[in-house]
Amino acid sequence: MNLELNFSVLESTPLFGMIAIRNDLFDVQDMLNRLHPPRADWYEEFYASALDKGMKSYEAEIAGCDNGVRVFGIDPNRKLEKYARAAATAAGLPPTNFKFIQAVAEALPLSDASVDAVVGTLVLCSVTDVDMTLKEVMRVLKPGGLYLFVEHVAAKDGTILRFLQGVLDPLQQTVADGCHLTRNTGKYISEAGFSIVDINMAFLSSALFINPHAYGIARK
Ligand SMILES: C[S@@+](CC[C@H](N)C(=O)[O-])C[C@H]1O[C@@H](n2cnc3c(N)ncnc32)[C@H](O)[C@@H]1O
């Protein structure tokens, strides 16, 4: 599913600096004590609890605001619309800001350079043409736009898991609507022409032979 989001904050934030943990320049405890000296225990407890209760209506109002984010959910299976719509609503998106479009990722029904972000979850395993899909992702992204992805990919060559994936691949394609177990999707993303690609790998124990997973962010 591909989403169009207005990530105005992300656009002006250095992409890969955000999650770095600093461990050198400052003594964190010293800075904490100097800039925010300890308050009385009862006061910290009182203030934390007041914030928790007092901010509820404020947060609810913000969540209900139309913040301009518009999301397009794209999938060839039109039966997914109701689930996608429910997920969008549960995430706090006003219903009018979500549009489901029945289409394939190889021909996204969006204009050139029209979206701030594309989110793809477990979809490059299933498209017919991975290169064409990534070209479409590049086409619809604005300059500097982000592609956020999580994809299951082929296991390392020579491993038992990779052998099993080869054996099970035809069956998987049949029962899981064209899903391939043996695609080197991370390589496709790395070579798609993004200006920055940050790919990480994870093994999910619940996914058995549908592993490992490549996830990350790329910038147009
Ligand atoms: C493993 S499911 C993942 C569904 C969903 N994105 C998620 O993360 O739960 C793969 C999805 O890819 C969709 N799909 C198959 N071929 C496609 C294509 N050519 N373009 C876009 N989506 C496709 C399927 O309909 C299915 O919804």
Distance 53 CA to ligand 1 centre (A): 41
Q: Bigger pLDDT: 115 or 5?
A: 115
pLDDT > 90: percent of the chain: 76
DSSP state of 107: G
150 C-beta closer than 6 A to ligand 1 = no
Mean pLDDT of the 64-71 span: 84
Tell whether 96 is covered by a domain.
Answer: yes
CA of 15: how far to CAs of 118, 153, 166, 218, in Å?
15, 24, 36, 9
Tell whether 24 is covered by a domain.
Answer: no
The one-letter amino acid code at 80 reads L
- What kind and span of H or E run contains 121? strand 115-121
pLDDT band at 59 (very low <50, low <70, confident <90, very high): confident
Neighbour-count burial for 23-40, b at 16+ CB within 10 Å, e otherwise: eeeeeeeeeeeeeeeeee
Tell whether 51 is covered by a domain.
Answer: no
71 C-beta closer than 6 A to ligand 1 = no
Paired sense of beta strands 196-202 and 115-121, if any: unpaired
Paired sense of beta strands 98-102 and 71-75, if any: parallel
Query: How are strands ordered across the β-sheet holding 196-202?
Result: 115-121, 141-152, 213-219, 196-202
Domain harbouring 138, CATH code: 3.40.50.150
Give the SS3 label for residue 215.
Answer: strand
Mean pLDDT of the 160-174 span: 97
DSSP state of 181: S
Distance 69 CA to ligand 1 centre (A): 23
Q: Bigger pLDDT: 47 or 22?
A: 47
Ligand 1 atom nearest residue 77's Cα: 25
Mean pLDDT of the 27-49 span: 92
Distance 180 CA to ligand 1 centre (A): 11
Tell whether 152 is covered by a domain.
Answer: yes
Range of the domain at 83: 70-219
What is residue 24's predicted lDDT score, i.e. its pLDDT? 60
Rounded Cα distance, 24 and 89, in Å: 42
Tell whether 128 is covered by a domain.
Answer: yes
The one-letter amino acid code at 131 reads D
Per the prediction, the chain carries an average pLDDT of 89
Residue 144 near residue 165, CB atoms below 8 Å: no
Written as one string, the DSSP assignment of 41-64 is HHHHHHHHHHHHHHTHHHHHHHHH
Residue 12 pLDDT greater than 90, yes or no: no
The CB density around residue 166, as the number of other CB atoms within 10 Å, is 13
Q: Bigger pLDDT: 2 or 26?
A: 26
What is residue 91's predicted lDDT score, i.e. its pLDDT? 87
Tell whether 9 is covered by a domain.
Answer: no
Domain count, the chain: 1
pLDDT digits (tens, 9 = 90+) for 94-142: 899 999 999 999 999 999 999 999 999 999 999 999 999 999 999 999 9
What is residue 23's predicted lDDT score, i.e. its pLDDT? 56
Tell whether 43 is covered by a domain.
Answer: no
Distance 96 CA to ligand 1 centre (A): 23
What is residue 22's predicted lDDT score, i.e. its pLDDT? 55
127 C-beta closer than 6 A to ligand 1 = yes
76 C-beta closer than 6 A to ligand 1 = yes
Q: Bigger pLDDT: 177 or 66?
A: 177
Tell whether 35 is covered by a domain.
Answer: no
Residue 13 pLDDT greater than 80, yes or no: no
